[in-house]
Structure 1
Amino acid sequence: MACSRLMSAPVCLIENDENGQLRVRKEAKDILDGISEPVVVVSVVGLYRTGKSYLMNRLAGQQSGFALGSTIESKTKGIWMWCVPHPNKKGHTLVLLDTEGLGDVKKGDEKHDTWIFCLAVLLSSTLVYNSLGVIDNTALEKLHYVTALTENIRVKAEVGQHEDESADFMRVFPSFVWAVRDFTLQLKKEDKPITSDDYLEGALELKRGSSPQTETYNLPRSCLRNFFAVRKCFVFPRPASTENMWRMEELTEKELDSKFLEQANTFCCYIYKNSETKTVTGGRTITGTALGNLAEVYVEAIRSGNVPCLENAVVSLAKIQNVRAADEALQCYMTELFNLVQLPMNPEELSNIHTVTEKKAIDVFITVSFNDNDQIYQQELMGKIYDEYQQMCQQNYDASRMQCEKVLHDVFDTLEKGISDGSYLKPGGSQKYTDTLRQLSEEYRAKTHSQIMSEEVLSKFLKTKENIGNMILQADQSLSAAEQEKEVEKMKTEILKQQKRSLKEQNRLQEQTFKDMQRTYDEHVNQIIHQMEREQDRMRRDNDRVLDAKLRENQALVQLGFQWEAARMQSEIDSLKADMNKENSSQRSKLRQVLNSIGIATTMLAPGFTPKLIGVGISMASNFV
């Protein structure tokens, strides 16, 4: 669903209820529920009245939207959301989150501010921190919320006593962008020009020593260095004169400072190009639907007095998403199938429709599902789709049978009348009966040759006429006893031939079922392989990003003379490399397990002789992975 049709203006995503507790607004949750695309989530945080909302309006491509305000009061309460089509990434939605200004003295609720900051970190793929003036110790002290992240967020449900979590935080935390507003200094160090990124990294340099003052100085800096692998800085000059600042929403681009406008455009281009799709542990991509559910999981943990845990959130989110994924996929399959099928029809045509609709259903499941590691929900979906398809096949058989029976009734009406009026109970009547039966059988086949139940219906009909045929033969006095016996055998032979035709017809249907099951298996496996490849690629990129950040940090520690810290960092790097190797080696065994589990599920679903054949084929396939 296109975001432009969904939102013409921001809505509140997270607010305070009547008891002062955080809650997710239903209106915003409903909007996210309608977004099945992957989302890129950009949050802005910072002290109140620092111009946060203006940057978010620029990212939305609008002059106004998020409330700017023109007084010393904080305008944004809670977390507001604006979903727009991503300008650079087709098939993605850009979700902008504007947070309540931190440090509002009238509000005086430090814990509330901390949770707003934590939720912005947890929900975003890029976190923009907005501040005024310069990046100095005072500015970093005001960013004390970052030092509380480890106390208010857990990556794993259980952590070892001496286990270092910084790499885990780096994998799941957003990239960090510091936007310094009303910047008036020259970007120089020792009379040499430096970049804004150099300016940020210089401000994050650690001091040597172990005094309480030094530890206090280093704490926010260490947190930023250890939690956010990607850091970027933009410095903005004052956008307009003091008298014009209060009407920023009304100012045209010509009325804005040209350097501010240039930097704002550079900032937006960077965000559009470099902000990643939102993921959680394991490189799993988040859609709008999942983002809404994730927000509810985190907010519910906070309301319950618990510390939000990413690992637990993934488990909760998986159950919510996978139940929904299976339901939506099945509904998609049934709707598409009923819209396209016109009974009766050729089994191959029905099979082709089944294949196309099943692929769409699996696409829906893969898009909405989340962390279905043991393929429990996908196997359940396979079973339900198979049941629906079998019911449709049975309806097709029944419709074909009814049509064949109608044609048969019309075609053989003259035969039935001849039997009723005794036309065949005369000398030579048996030959006339046999010729009529053969002639009408061919006429029936000509009219029902495209029907799948043609031969079976005819076979049953001829079987019911066996006794009548024998009676007509016995009544034909023109035939000797030997001739009568010979004709009886010919009639039995003809009935057997017809039964073989019917059996051949049924075998073709069974073969079609086998092909359908094989195609179902192939489609499910291909989708799982592609999904695992995407997740593995994202995990690899996340690991490389974390490893690169650790290596840079280790080098900086060595240059600053922090030998003990550098040695500890090197140990973390070695451990991280070992974990990466384990993750890579486990992928093949995980895929083999997936193939085996789906093979078993398919074996249980297939009818008749099919289970044994297809089950063996699938189990054998997994041995070659």
Structure 2
Amino acid sequence: MCCVPHPSKRNHTLVLLDTEGLGDVEKGDPKNDSWIFALAVLLSSTLVYNSLGTINHQALEQLHYVTELSQLIRTRASPTSDEAEDHTEFVHFFPDFVWAVRDFSLELKLQERHITEDEYLENALKLVPGENPRIQTSNMTRKCIRDFFPKRKCFVFHRPTNDNSLLAHIQDVSEDELESAFKSQSEQFCSYISTRGKVKTLGSGVTVTGKRLGCLVEMYVNAINSGAVPCLENAVTTLAERENTAAVEKAATHYMAQMAERVMFPTDTLQELLDVHTACEKGAIEVFMEHSFKDENQNFQKTLMETIEKKKEYFLQQNEEASSKYCQTKIKKLSESLMENISRGTFCVPQGHKLYQEARRKVEQDYKLVPRKGVKANEVLQCFLESLEATEKFILNADKALTDMEKTLEAKNTKREAMEDQHRIAQEVIIHVKENWEKEKETLLRQQEKLIEQKLREQEEVLKQKLKVIEGMLNKELKTIKEVIEELNRRITEFGNNENSDFFSWILNNNVIISDFFWKAKKLFN
């Protein structure tokens, strides 16, 4: 087998399959040539059969392999009873037929009329009348060629060189040493093969690529080696299964590659991922349609859709995991301060729950501002908040307990402060009273002093008045006493001079006056 780029068709490969001759007695098994010929028919788009000399009865007998094709090849997996006689089924699968006659030395004439190579071939394939078994065998070959290969072509080649010494190593002979007629005939043959040769297809127009050709060779050879008959329908079915399976894998790989290239996890929304999925799914279907064939019931396409659906679920899961991981990282970073304050007991104070709520709301607000959190944003936030429920409950209870204690302490402090205020006020009142008392005392003292002074002055005046009265009285009494004394002195004098007992009677008569005088004097001075 030789593969070369096609000389005139782009993106095509020309595959030359050489059977290395038929009729080799050294092969041992007489069926080898039949199977080789059958393989050549199955694998070729143009079958070139070459013979030496002329197309005659002997040449047709050598091509008897064609009569065995209906036994060596089946078109259907479950053939009908009359399929063996219905050669039209093979036409859809069999190649074009080219008969190349080498070392042709005859003149192309038929009944003195020049004919073409094709006319020469068609004339040779005419059925020969007669009941002779050899004729019937030859006619069978002719009939099979006509039935199996409706498109036929013939080329005749003169000897490449008339120098017999060069024929032994003809492959080493240069083109300049070849006969011009041979070169011209060779050019016509190559031109026909390159321009008129068709692409190998399988019945319903399925193009055989290099990969498919390899699969066909493998399937046909395995069937022959196992003793089975190669079946064209099975080959197409197997090829379809292989190709469609490969197409599914290729399309699924394309989907995965496109999704991996176009999706940046996590997506902002689920719809964003689904939009990319839809576009990649469409591309995967296009790839599948390009590489698949004969998916008549769309079973493989359904398989592809199921595969893509599973892979979509994988991407959805990856997106969720990426979103969850990204959100957890972000909320952990944003809540570091909150968690540190919780650990330090910052919120275990009166009104601590309010402080905690403010700190928690700050984390929530900052978290909501984080871009492209993805589909797990709310779930992660809710999980975070739920994880804080026990902590918040503890803080709330602590806050309530501490607040109640603070209120109690505040009440006590208020009472104490009230008492202190009362004491302070009392002290201030006392001080104020003292100050007022001192002032009033001073005032009273001043008033008393003034009053005393006034009383003293009044008493002094009274005394003065009394004294004046007393003085008057005393003066009056003194005057009286003086008068008494003078009277006494006079009496005494008179008494001394006249011892008259009337003196003692006078004294007794004036004793009251004298006693009263001394009593009043004593009272005044006391």
TM-score, normalization: structure 2? 0.65
Contact in 1 for aligned 2:44/2:200 (Cα 8 Å):
yes
In the alignment, the residues of structure 2 paired with residue 350 and residue 472 of structure 1 have an alpha-carbon distance, to the nearest angstrom, of: 41
Question: What is the CA-CA distance between 1:435 and the residue it aligns to?
Answer: 4.3
Deviation at 1:101, TM superposition (A): 0.8
Contact 2:73 2:231 in 1 (8 A): yes
1:126 has 2:49 as partner: no
Distance 1:451 1:321 in 2: 39
Give 3-state SS (helix, strand or coil) of 2:198's partner: coil
| SS at structure 2 position matched to 1:297 | helix
99, 105, 123: which is aligned to 1:184?
Answer: 105
Q: Structure 1 residue 167 and structure 2 residue 88: aligned?
A: yes
Which residue does 1:412 correspond to in 2?
335
Q: Structure 1 pair 360/267, CA: closer, same or farther in 2 (3 Å)?
A: farther
1:162-311 superposed matches below 5 A: 162-163=82-83, 164-208=85-129, 212=133, 214-241=135-162, 242-311=164-233
For residues 62-461 of structure 1, what are the structure 2 equivalents within 5 Å? 81-107=1-27, 109-163=29-83, 164-208=85-129, 212=133, 214-241=135-162, 242-319=164-241, 326=248, 330=252, 343-345=265-267, 371-424=294-347, 432-461=355-384
Q: Is the 8 A contact 1:287 1:368 kept in 2?
A: no
Q: Deviations over 1:499-545 (max 9, x none)?
A: xxxxxxxxxxxxxxxxxxxxxxxxxxxxxxxxxxxxxxxxxxxxxxx
Secondary structure (helix, strand or coil) at the match of 1:269 reads helix
What CA deviation, in whole Å up to 9, does each residue of 1:148-185 have, x standing for no partner? 21222222244333444211011111111112222233
Structure 1, unaligned runs of 5 or more: 1-80, 480-625
Aligned residue for 1:178, secondary structure, equals strand
Report if the CA contact (8 A) 2:338-2:359 is conserved: yes
* Bigger relative contact order (CA 8 A; separation at least 6): 1
The 10-residue stretch of structure 1 (468-477 or 143-152) with the greater mean CA deviation from structure 2: 468-477
For 1:333 and 1:390, how far apart are their aligned partners in 2?
Answer: 13
Deviation at 1:128, TM superposition (A): 0.7
- CA 1:264–1:378: 2 relative to 1, 3 Å: same
SS in 1 for 2:100: strand
Q: Is the Cα contact below 8 Å between 1:238 and 1:260 reproduced in 2?
A: yes
What is the alpha-carbon distance in structure 2 between the residues aligned to residue 293 and residue 179 of structure 1?
Answer: 29
Which structure has the larger Rg over C-alpha atoms? Answer: 2
Q: Any residues of structure 2 matched to 1:600-615 within 5 Å, and which? A: none
In structure 2, how many angstroms separate the alpha carbons of the residues matched to 1:83 and 1:214?
40
Cα deviation, 1:303-347, whole Å, max 9, x if unaligned, reads 233333323444454555555555565566556766776644556
Residue 414 of structure 2 aligns with which residue? none
Q: CA deviation at 1:243?
A: 2.6
Q: Give the Cα separation in 2 of the matches to 1:275 and 1:342.
A: 50
CA contact (8 A) 1:297 1:317 kept: no
Partners of 2:181 and 2:272 in 1: how far apart?
64
Measured at CA, do residues 360 and 289 of structure 1 come closer, stay the same or move farther in structure 2, by a change above 3 Å? farther
- Matched with 1:593 is none
Cα 1:85/1:450, change in 2 over 3 Å: farther
**Contact conserved, 1:83 with 1:95, CA < 8 A, in 2?**
yes
Read off the aligned partner of 1:386 and give its amino acid letter.
E
Structure 2 unaligned residues grouped into runs of 5+: 404-526
Whole-Å separation in 2 of the counterparts to 1:392 and 1:97 = 48
- SS for the counterpart of 1:98 is coil
1:136, 1:451 → 2: CA distance?
82
User: Once the 2 structures are TM-superposed, how far is the Cα of residue 413 of structure 1 from its aligned partner?
Assistant: 2.0
- Give me the whole-angstrom Cα distance separating, in 1, the residues matched to 2:272 and 2:160: 65
Cα distance change of structure 1 residues 378 and 213 upon mapping to structure 2, 3 Å threshold: same
Of 269-278 and 424-433, the range deviating more from structure 2: 424-433
- The letter of the residue matching 1:134 is T
Q: CA deviation at 1:228?
A: 0.9
Tell whether the 8 Å contact from 1:345 to 1:396 is kept in structure 2 after alignment: yes
- Quick one: distance in 1 between partners of 2:176 and 2:130? 51
Q: Aligned equivalents of 2:393 and 2:31: distance in 1?
A: 96
Question: What RMSD in Å do the two structures reach over aligned CA positions?
Answer: 3.7
